[in-house]
């Protein structure tokens, strides 16, 4: 998949990067004198309410074909479930098999491999979140750990035996299985290889057929439980997408505080700010901008800037603190295959005059934009409904499909690919070049960072923003 910068992406069945090449000189167009407003720029709106809950419910109701009252009930359940998947995994240990929102009734589903032994623990966690009447417990054969181990084995198969961008893997929590998708560019031999391997799994064969030059995927875990491993020959979103061309002709920026979804560039590329974040050092919160790692490829020493339309000037944000794009890394980047970049914003910057966890939801209101205030961050789960925003397009909304997906993103404009893990895919919430790094949120809950995909069909891919804190130590400013 091509990244959402205007370089490119590639889904391990290749994904489009949402990055965008910056304009001629790379800087935002010159604005009017400070204090006056450029044509089409409105004064900042008051944050009352912080997130337009009624409007989100109306959007949900239209997308899911339910009443606004029912949509409001379901979105309230999503709000109360903040942090639920992390707590359940800690409480259930090896019996934890996933959490998601049921698309039929919007209720929370908690999966376990041993309901008798874990039901009380699950009930206690649901009660703490006020979900005692809105949660369901299901027993499934494979734990989340089983599925993750099977996916890791499948990733080796894909890496060693498939062309770049010809296949991908994902964990499908709802169906308790691991999925391998194959794209349109896959060869006949690659399709035959998957067909043969799928047949072996269906028969419960624990070892690969004699003479096959790829690692087998064990059908049983150490405790003897059967793993549910399913191969899907997926024709959507699986093939390489042509690199986006041209420049972003419209930029979307705000005055401070630095808001997610706004335009920034380093004179070579343009991306979207994902979130204002912070890293704590000696008790002090140091500001950072969180975005996609592929935005930084080939520009580790470049300084990023953003345009303040109220002041009428462009101001420096800062230089990349570090970044990770698959195996490509910035200085002191963690050894984890993610698509995350962080930009240190010094306290001397114009962009730290005001600090708050806000995002700009472009196209939401009649004025052309709405400011939403972030109140939490969490891990996106299947069935969760949310919306994205970015510097090149108006908001789009959709539903989380897979929670843990491994894809190949690339090539960037320097020809690099990144094998990216722990992505989540969303149907409906797509973006275009220049939207790379932008936020995906569930109301005031920060969930993801736009990475790759296309609005031409297939899902769109996001990095969990939780990984920015877990691996880089940078958390969303709330």
Residues contacting 415, CB < 8 A, separation 6+? none
Neighbouring C-alpha atoms within 13 Å toward the C-beta of 476: 30
pLDDT beyond 80 at 257:
yes
What gap in Å lies between CA 434 and CA 364, rounded to an integer? 19
Q: Tell me which of 226 and 365 has the higher pLDDT.
A: 365
Q: Tell me which of 465 and 145 has the higher pLDDT.
A: 465
Question: Which fold, 59-139?
Answer: GMP Synthetase; Chain A, domain 3 (3.30.300)
Neighbouring C-alpha atoms within 13 Å toward the C-beta of 207: 3
pLDDT beyond 90 at 130:
yes
Domain spans of the chain? 59-139
Residues contacting 384, CB < 8 A, separation 6+? 78, 100, 101, 399, 400, 442, 447
Residues contacting 147, CB < 8 A, separation 6+? 97, 98, 171, 173, 176, 177, 178, 227, 228
Helix/strand/coil for 88: helix
Percent of the chain with pLDDT over 70: 73
Least trusted range by pLDDT, from 48-52, 133-137, 187-191, 421-425: 48-52
Neighbours of 304 (CB within 10 A): 25
Q: What is the rounded average pLDDT of the residues 7-14?
A: 36
User: How remote is the C-alpha of 120 from its chain's centroid?
Assistant: 32
pLDDT beyond 60 at 205:
no
Least trusted range by pLDDT, from 9-13, 90-94, 145-149, 343-347: 9-13
User: Secondary structure of the chain: what % helix, strand, coil (to 5)?
Assistant: 20, 30, 50
Q: What is the pTM of this model?
A: 0.79
User: How remote is the C-alpha of 406 from its chain's centroid?
Assistant: 12
What gap in Å lies between CA 436 and CA 432, rounded to an integer? 8
pLDDT by residue (tens digit) across 351-409?
988 888 999 888 886 667 778 889 999 999 999 999 999 998 889 999 999 989 988 88
Residue 84 phi, psi dihedral angles, 5° rounding: -65, -45
First to last CA, the chain: 31
pLDDT by residue (tens digit) across 289-346?
999 998 888 766 678 999 888 777 899 999 888 888 877 667 667 777 899 999 999 9
């Amino acid at each position: 998949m091509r990244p959402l910068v205007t370089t490119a992406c590639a889904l391990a069945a290749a994904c489009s990067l949402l990055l965008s090449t910056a304009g001629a000189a790379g800087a935002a167009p010159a604005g009017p004198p400070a204090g006056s407003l450029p044509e089409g720029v409105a004064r900042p709106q008051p944050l009352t309410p912080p997130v337009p809950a009624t409007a989100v419910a109306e959007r949900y109701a239209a997308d899911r074909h339910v009443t606004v009252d029912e949509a409001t009930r379901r979105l309230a359940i999503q709000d109360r479930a903040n942090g639920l998947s992390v707590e359940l995994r800690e409480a259930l240990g090896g019996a934890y098999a996933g959490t998601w929102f049921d698309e039929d009734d919007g209720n929370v589903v908690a999966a376990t491999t041993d309901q008798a032994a874990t039901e009380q623990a699950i009930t206690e966690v649901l009660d703490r979140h006020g979900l005692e009447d809105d949660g369901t417990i299901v027993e499934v054969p494979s734990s989340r750990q089983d599925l993750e181990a099977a996916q890791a084995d499948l990733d080796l198969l894909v890496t060693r035996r498939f062309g770049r961008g010809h296949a991908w893997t994902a964990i499908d929590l709802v169906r308790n299985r691991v999925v391998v998708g194959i794209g349109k560019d896959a060869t006949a031999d690659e399709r035959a290889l998957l067909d043969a391997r799928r047949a072996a799994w269906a028969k419960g064969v624990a070892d690969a057929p004699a003479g096959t030059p790829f690692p087998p995927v064990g059908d049983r875990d150490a405790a003897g439980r059967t793993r549910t491993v399913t191969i899907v020959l997926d024709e959507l979103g699986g093939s390489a997408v042509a690199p986006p061309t041209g420049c972003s002709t419209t930029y979307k920026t705000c005055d401070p505080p630095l808001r997610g979804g706004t335009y920034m560039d380093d004179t070579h590329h343009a991306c979207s700010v994902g979130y204002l974040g912070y890293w704590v050092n000696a008790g002090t919160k140091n500001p950072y901008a969180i975005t996609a790692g592929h935005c930084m490829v080939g520009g580790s020493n470049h300084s990023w800037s953003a345009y303040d339309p109220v002041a009428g000037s462009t101001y420096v944000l800062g230089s990349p603190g570090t970044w990770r794009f698959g195996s490509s890394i910035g200085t002191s980047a963690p050894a984890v295959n993610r698509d995350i970049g962080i930009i240190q914003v010094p306290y001397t910057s114009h962009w730290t005059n005001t600090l708050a966890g806000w995002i700009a939801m472009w196209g939401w209101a009649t004025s052309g934009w709405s400011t939403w205030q972030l109140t939490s961050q969490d891990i996106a789960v299947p069935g969760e409904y949310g919306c994205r925003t970015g510097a090149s397009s108006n908001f789009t909304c959709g539903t989380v499909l897979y929670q843990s997906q491994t894809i190949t993103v690339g090539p960037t404009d320097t020809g690099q690919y990144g094998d990216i893990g722990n992505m989540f895919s969303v149907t409906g919430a797509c973006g275009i070049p220049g939207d790379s790094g932008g936020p995906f949120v569930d109301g005031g809950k920060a969930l993801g960072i736009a990475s790759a995909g296309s609005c031409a069909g297939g899902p769109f891919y996001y990095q969990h923003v939780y990984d920015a804190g877990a691996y880089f130590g940078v958390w969303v400013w709330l």
